Structures are given as structure tokens and as C-alpha cells.
Amino acid sequence: MSRFARFAAIALFTALAGIGSASAADYPAHSVKWIVPYPPGGTTDVLARIIAQWLSEKMGQQFIVENKPGAGNNIGTEAVVNAPPDGYTMLLVNPANGINASLYKKLPFNFIRDIAPVAGLIRTPNVMEITNSLPVKTVAEFIAYCKANPGKINMASSGSGTSVHLSGELFKHMTGCDMTHVPYKGAGPAITDLIAGQVQVLFDNLPSSAPHIKGGRIRALAVTSAKREPSMPNLPTVGETVPGYEATAWFGIGMPKGTPRAIIDKVNAEVNRALADPKMHERLAELGGAPIPGTPDDFGKVIAAETAKWAIAVKASGASVD
């Protein structure tokens, strides 16, 4: 019986391994759902749709973007955490995934433990922008106006815990500006109200705001990166006025923990081909994004480093969400 049991175990293992490799070889055999944890119109949505089109064309099945906003990105993330680890549900990973680990007192998941990194996409600065009716044209003038009008500035964000939110909180902490945080369910509605003058300032991801800045519907004051943005070379950095200030956004793809590594590697390879394509590179540059290619493990290191960095910013700002 012992010898039979060993043979049976070996046969079962061989069969399962064959199924796994066949599954990876045939992947994707049907459409893939890509959850974006924000509404349409923001950077996460725009970026996902650009990459989804490439993956659909190159991998022979539709990669379908599904917007699932709410709870500062956590509803969409939890949906992917609880999805079958078969490669047919992906997450648009974004700064909120690193921020929320320290911002939220209680989460029903541990992002680093429960989501497998697949591929990095881009890193982009945020941009400090204001409604056109605000009578300031520089960061220094904004700080002066804010201090002369305490509590009268409404600071929009794409949701509590996003890099948009924390970029503003960091600015408040470093300048002493008294601003009221107004969270939205994504960048799209936040920009709409900024244009209308319902809120006065937004530290948005550059890709979703660039068309409105270039169209004159909102006024950009500065980018949040350490260096000036090549696509807007005349726009200063916040750090030129507030020494030491820096905040950037980063984006990538994740899948549920336990997804076969062969499937992860297959998607990773195709994403890296996309990022290396000259036309795609040009399109992402127009959005203000610099590609962050690499292995799944490389992207895992980005997630870990950003989670640690934003934990410091969250503590410094005193921000917290129940």
C-alpha cells in the first residue's frame, strides 16, 4: 500500500503540474477583468485603458477595465484580494495601496501579503493646481493667501489615502497652511469641481489633469517631484518654494496571491514589451509618466519601499481614517 500510495502521489503531482503548465501556456483562454479602484476619468483609469488595449491586441483576449471606486481605493482592492488566483482578475496598483496600510486603522486585508506584484507601469509627479478664480499665480502667493484666509481653502482629493490626498497633507504640514480636505471618489469629479470653483486646490496626478491645464480650465502652480517635469519645463517644483517637499505617484499591476508564477511572468513580459515600444513610450510621456519596467520582484520592491515612505508621511501629517 505504501508503494502504491507513493506512485499515486507522484502521478497526481505530475498531472497537476501538467495542468498548471498547460494553463499558463494557454493563458489567457478568455477575457481578463482589470479592476481600477476609481471612477472613469482619472489617471488610474486612463492608464489602465491604454495598457489594456495593448494587452488585448497582443495576447488575443480582451482585458476589460472595470471601475470599482470607494473607500479610498479599498473596495476595488478587496475585490481582487478575494478573487480566484487564476490570472483572470487584475488590480491597477497605485499609491493608495501603499498609503492605506498606515492610514487606515483597520483593513480587511494586508496588501503586501495578499496581492502578488506583476509589473510596474509608470511613475509620475502630482501637480499642484488651483481654480482659475483664486487670485494667486505662484506657490509662494498661494501660501500667503492661505495664511491670510485660514480655513477658507478647500483642498480636493481623489479619495482619502490617495497620493493626491497625502501630497496635500504633506504640503499642509510643511507650510502651516490651514486647508479643509474634501475627498472625492476619484480624480474626475474632483477636477470637475475644481474647474467650477467648488474647491480651490488639488494635488492631482499629472496625467489626468494635463489636458485641463493645457486647455486653460485650471491653473497649475508647480509639480511635486524633486525635478521639473520635461513635458512642462516652465512649471516649477513645489520644492523650489518649500525646501524638501517631494511626492510622486506610481502605478502597476497586481493579482491575487497564489496566482501561478508562469501566468504572472507572461503578463509581466508583455507589459515590459509595451513599455519599451517607442509609440507607447511617447504616449505615456504625454501623460507625464516615466515607465518603470522590471520583473515582478522589482515591482514588489517598489511597493515595499513606497509603503515604508508613505508611512512616515502619514505619521507626520497626523492623518488617519477609521
The owner of cell 494587452 is 55
Using a cut of 0.75, tell me whether the model's pTM lies above it.
yes
Query: CA-to-CA distance for 264 and 232, rounded, in angstroms?
Result: 35
Q: Please indicate, yes or no, whether residues 31 and 91 belong to a single structural domain of this protein.
A: yes
pLDDT-based confidence at 18, cuts 50/70/90? very low
**Contact status, residue 261 vs residue 247, Cβ threshold 8 Å:** no
Residue 47: strand, helix, or coil:
helix
pLDDT-based confidence at 19, cuts 50/70/90? very low
**Contact status, residue 173 vs residue 247, Cβ threshold 8 Å:** no
Average confidence (pLDDT) over 54-63: 98
Domain boundary residue, one of 240, 272, 299: 240
* pLDDT tens column, 258-314: 999 999 999 999 999 999 999 998 988 877 788 999 999 999 999 999 999 889 878
What pLDDT is stored for residue 243 in this prediction? 96
- Higher pLDDT, residue 316 or 71: 71
Domain boundary residue, one of 240, 272, 307: 240
Query: Of 62-76, 249-263, 280-294, which gets the smallest average pLDDT?
Result: 280-294
Rank 36-45, 58-67, 301-310 by mean pLDDT and report only the highest. Answer: 58-67
**Which residues are 229's β-sheet partners?**
none
Is the per-residue pLDDT at 204 higher than 60? yes
What pLDDT is stored for residue 17 in this prediction? 47
Domain boundary residue, one of 240, 262, 280: 240
Classify residue 154 as left (phi > 0), alpha (psi -120 to 50) or beta.
Answer: beta
What pLDDT is stored for residue 7 in this prediction? 54
Q: Is 261 domain-assigned?
A: yes
Give the CATH number, domain containing residue 150.
3.40.190.10
Average confidence (pLDDT) over 226-246: 93
The owner of cell 493645457 is 214
* pLDDT tens column, 99-111: 999 999 899 999 9
What pLDDT is stored for residue 20 in this prediction? 47
Q: Is 99 domain-assigned?
A: yes
* pLDDT tens column, 106-161: 999 999 999 999 999 999 889 999 999 999 999 999 999 999 999 899 999 988 77
Is the per-residue pLDDT at 183 higher than 80? yes
> How many domains does one find in the chain?
2
Query: CA-to-CA distance for 120 and 253, rounded, in angstroms?
Result: 6
Can you count the helices (H) and strands (E) in the chain? 12, 10
Q: Please indicate, yes or no, whether residues 220 and 310 belong to a single structural domain of this protein.
A: no
Q: Is 253 domain-assigned?
A: yes
Q: Please indicate, yes or no, whether residues 39 and 66 belong to a single structural domain of this protein.
A: yes
Q: Is 322 domain-assigned?
A: no
Is the per-residue pLDDT at 182 higher than 80? yes
% of the chain at pLDDT higher than 90: 69
Q: Is 32 domain-assigned?
A: yes
Is the per-residue pLDDT at 254 higher than 90? yes
Q: Please indicate, yes or no, whether residues 231 and 262 belong to a single structural domain of this protein.
A: no
Exposed, middle or buried, 20 (CB in 10 Å: 0-12/13-18/19+)?
A: middle
Q: Please indicate, yes or no, whether residues 67 and 120 belong to a single structural domain of this protein.
A: yes
Q: Please indicate, yes or no, whether residues 136 and 146 belong to a single structural domain of this protein.
A: yes
Give the CATH number, domain containing residue 273.
3.40.190.150
Please give the mean pLDDT across all residues of the chain: 90
CA-nearest of 60, 206, 184 to 128 is 206
Q: Which residue range(s) make up the domain with 148?
A: 125-240
What pLDDT is stored for residue 22 in this prediction? 47
What pLDDT is stored for residue 21 in this prediction? 47
